Chain A
Amino acid sequence: MTTIIAQTISKAVFAICLMYSVNLFIHGANYPGGGFIGGVLLVCGIILIYVTFGINRADKMFKQDWFGWFGFGLLFASIAAIFPMFKNHNYFRSAFNVVHFEFFGISFGELEFASSMMFDVGVYFVVIGGLVFIITQIGKHKYSPPKEKDEKNVSLDRKDNIILPEPKEETEITDNTVSAAEGLQ
């Protein structure tokens, strides 16, 4: 499925995913959405790129250390949770404020700032980083079959039940993963 058409379209889809994800995230407080949903949606977009381009190329395209993403998210969420304690409030105490924007007498409307939003930023990053990290790590893993000995354990009666997947899109992943793993070594 890594035709040029699929790749082009997936790029466009990724852009849409990104925008919609940020939209979901920002609107989370008052409309359907939030850090978790926004994060998962963006992960879908990212994984789409990984599937169509293969792990090697996609890694080069993103140039991201996903490991750092969820580390940062966890740190950010923890700081957001601890921060109220410096102001003599309880752990996780939340606050919000509505700011009215007005310049030169023209009202630009109101924006609401909630402290839980900061926490949500952490959730957003952990979800993106964690999920992408897990999937890419498993994808990169080069699998070598166990030695001959293990064959004895395999029973014969259901042997033919397990068949390599036929659909092309999945085999595509294997090819990419193998090449990625070889590229790594």
Chain B
Amino acid sequence: MLLALLYDRSFDSVDPFIILAFIIFLPFAAAFVLPIIGSKMKEKIGWFATLISFICFLAVLYLIPNVSREENLSGIIPWINELGINFSLRADGLSILLAAIVSFIGIMIMFYSNGYMSPKDDLNRYYQYLLVFMGSMLGIAFSDNLILLFLFWELTSISSFLLIGYYRDTEKSIYGARKALLITAGGGLFMLLGFIAIGLVTGTYEISQIVSNPEIILNLKSSPDFAGILILILIGAFAKSAQGIFYIWLPNAMEAPTPVSAFLHSATMVKAGIFLIARFHPVFSGTDLWFYLVSGTGMITMIFAGYIAIRQTDLKAILAYSTISQLAYLVTMYGFTTEILPTIGVSAATFHLLNHSTFKACLFLIVGIVAHELGTRDIREMGGLAKKMPITFIIAIIAAASMAGIPPFNGYLSKELFYESSIIMGQQIGGIWSAIIPMTALAGGVLTFMYSLRLIHKVFLGKPANEEMYSKAHEPGAIMLIPPIILAALIVLIGLFPDLFIEYLVQPAINSIAPGSEKLHVQLWHGFTRPFIMTVFTIAIGLFFYMKYDEIAESQNRFCSNYKWFSLNNLYDKAVNNARSESAKISGSIQRGPPTGYIIWMLVFTIFLILIPLSGFYFSGGNLFDPSIMRLPASEYFLLAIIVITAIGAAIAPKYIVAIMSLSAMGYLVALLYAYLKAPDLAMTQVCVETLSTILFLAVIMKLRKKEAVNPDPRSDQITKLLIGFISGFSFLLVIMATGIVEPFVPFSEYFIENAIELTGGRNIVNVIVVDFRGYDTIGEITVLSLAALCVYNIIRAKGMKKEKKKESKEEEESTNITDNITDIVPEEI
């Protein structure tokens, strides 16, 4: 039925944009409704997720004919026009290739998870994360806007974080999840900077415009920021694909459930960085910098990761380092460019992108089966499983042989292409490089061959190391076997009939990276060419060194235990852990707790803020003081004098209760002053606020017992505080006296008075200012009030805190409330 729909081209009338948007949003929508469906389907919910990814895969398949005809499949919904950010989607060969891999492996993984995950796990959460990840990965494939791409990019980082930390209560998975998030999402931020720089240089964020317009490319290449942009984007790509120094997150990410590792950390998410490199290949390639950065990083990572893989004893760790090394192949090949031939390795890399996804996902699933059956992933505990699990063994041989580059599997084909492209690249540069580059490729191949052989040898052959575990082992159920079988079949199929896949998947992708490039011809047998000789050498040297495998691993272990400081993980741990303790130290020294310190600093800075401009103004000949404001009636002077007396009383009163009374007396007198100055509403507010704050003060003071009195300050401190208080009071006095009198400080109340009725329809200017003219301020203030209330609640509920601190914070909140009220009132008064 679905297939009939697929080939019924009456759908041609459907806007391709709608199909693309459907592919991206279906997994998100499914993740959203999954808990509802999950409550009905219980442990069968995995099948729902499988169905969703199957629908996505069919939709991707549906687009393949259009893409291979190089039709323009794109669409755009304007989003933020001013910034050039649009919701624009586009399908070309490369994105279809990635989307096909993602959705197909998605089906396999979700199918497999039905057998792998135990019903006791929180399955809804698991499949929700997987679906969100799949949706964002498809989003990366199809987005045509750099900023949109970035959004999906970070979404994959976040879903990867959630999946690595799926087992929430194991220390290791928390560590791995945090590490992955910090590195991949952090790299993504650098990439965003690079994107913005591209947007600034080219004036557009649309990828299709940047990539296809020769003028824009020339403009970028000649831009002085070219190197910076390239490096920023490569940081993002390398962090995602675990290349160069960023490799350290991937081994720790293996704490995720094995299907997740197969899906995210080998087949798809780590390909996002490669995808980005391929995407920007037309823009950046052909420059020396591109070759050195991309191929250089790739070659070093390839050798290094392959070498490290040898000492690993955890099955998944071996596969993790092998993934890093295989991704480095891809990076290296995409980096093979010269000015004359800018696309030497593109076709090989794109083909290997497909092949690696098949054999690596398959291997991970095999590891999942083995670990599931034995209950361990330690390679030293295994052996002899071939008798117990013959089907698994055959699949494992196919996948490992493909990874090692042995004919007739697909890995062999792309490995040959890799050797060939490295020879051509070496010849293009000439000199000593014509030997170094092929030799590096060969070394990478040898290492791959060695650990592939190791996997088969140690797990399935030889004698069982642990009899107890061995006796329990048996072939897994069909649910867990079918996906690896399908993948293994695919490995063989691609190996035997590569043309079918190349024509529909790989060649369109190559064309979208390098338009008009030659058609890729792959054959299993093409005579005694140099790549074939290199393959023979690979196997021979690999076998030779495999004899000394244990010695090599031993020497690595010795090195690691002798030079513990010499590792990137060590650096990372130091940086992250120290960041936590150091920042705690700094915040601890700034935020001590008692409000006295905060108030002093606030006042000191206010004094500087006020006095520096005012004194500048004064010394340049300005006049700050107009004697006419001193002409007041005697009654006002009398009122002011009482206010001053109460203020002094509040400061020097020996008992708290007296001080509070004195303070509230001052407040009421100020209210009286407002009333006298014909501001009845202010007076009323002041009376209410004063009453409330007095009650609040008393409620707090009430809880102070005799013995817990705050330590009185020493005399020198008192003098400092007195000085600060006096100077800040004096500077405020200066400001108030100058306001509205001296030329630059004109009151702006005129504007409100003139426009109130016309613009807002209110005659009460005070209220109109609060709720209309300065609505922004007010919404901020009511938010602060709400937050303060929440803080009070939390502080009171918090347990194990020092009681003193509680009181102080309460007083602080209260004082902020009062100052809020005052700031509410003061500007209106003007």
Contacts and interface: CB of A to CB of B under 8 A. Distances in A.
Verify that A and B bind, or say they do not: yes
A89 interface: no
A122 B782 contact: yes
Interface in B757-791: 759-764, 766-768, 770-772, 775-776, 778-779, 782-783, 785-786, 788-789
A109 B101 CA distance: 72
A134 B792 contact: yes
B760 A114 contact: yes
B696 A135 contact: yes
A71 B698 CA distance: 27
Interface of A is mostly: helix
A131 interface: yes
B37 interface: no
B699 A139 contact: yes
Interface in B799-827: 802-804, 806, 810, 813-814, 817, 821, 824
A150 B685 CA distance: 40
B702 interface: yes
Contacts of A36: 685, 770, 824
B558 interface: no
Contact of A116 (B692, B696, B768): B768
Nearest to A151: B707
B742 interface: no
Contact of B706 (A47, A74, A162, A173): A162
Contact of B700 (A73, A138, A155, A157): A138
Contacts of A112: 761
A38 B804 CA distance: 35
B792 A37 contact: no
Interface string B667-710: 00000000000001100110011011001101111111111110
Contacts of A166: 657
B347 to A, nearest CB: 51
Contact of B803 (A33, A35, A43, A143): A143
Nearest to B802: A146
A134 B770 contact: no
A38 to B, nearest CB: 10
B651 interface: no
Contacts of B814: 134
Nearest to B759: A94
Contacts of B680: 32
A58 interface: no
B654 interface: yes
A49 B295 CA distance: 78
A129 to B, nearest CB: 7
Given A29-B768, A36-B685, A78-B779, A158 B699 contact: no
B226 interface: no
Interface in A112-147: 112, 114, 116-117, 119-120, 122-123, 126-127, 129-131, 133-135, 137-141, 143-146
B655 A137 contact: no
Interface residues of A, number: 74
B613 interface: no
Interface string A147-183: 0001101110111011111110010011001000000
Contacts of B763: 29-31
B817 A134 contact: yes
Interface of B is mostly: helix
Interface residues on B, range: 35 or more
A68 to B, nearest CB: 12
Contact of B782 (A34, A77, A151, A157): A77
Contacts of A123: 770-771, 778, 782
Nearest to A27: B764
B712 A165 contact: no
Nearest to B794: A137
A44 B688 contact: yes
B793 to A, nearest CB: 6
A25 B388 CA distance: 83
B796 A141 contact: yes
Contacts of B708: 145-146, 150, 154
B696 to A, nearest CB: 6
A71 B562 CA distance: 60
Given A135-B695, A138-B699, A130 B788 contact: yes
A96 interface: yes
A143 to B, nearest CB: 4
A70 interface: yes
B732 interface: no
Nearest to A160: B706
11 contacts: A28-B767, A30-B763, A37-B681, A51-B695, A77-B779, A116-B762, A131-B785, A138-B699, A138-B810, A155-B711, A177-B702
Given A119-B779, A134-B792, A159-B706, 9 more contacts: A28-B762, A30-B764, A31-B763, A37-B685, A94-B772, A112-B761, A117-B771, A145-B705, A154-B707
Q: A-B pairs with the 4 shortest C-beta distances?
A: A96-B761, A34-B767, A32-B681, A29-B762
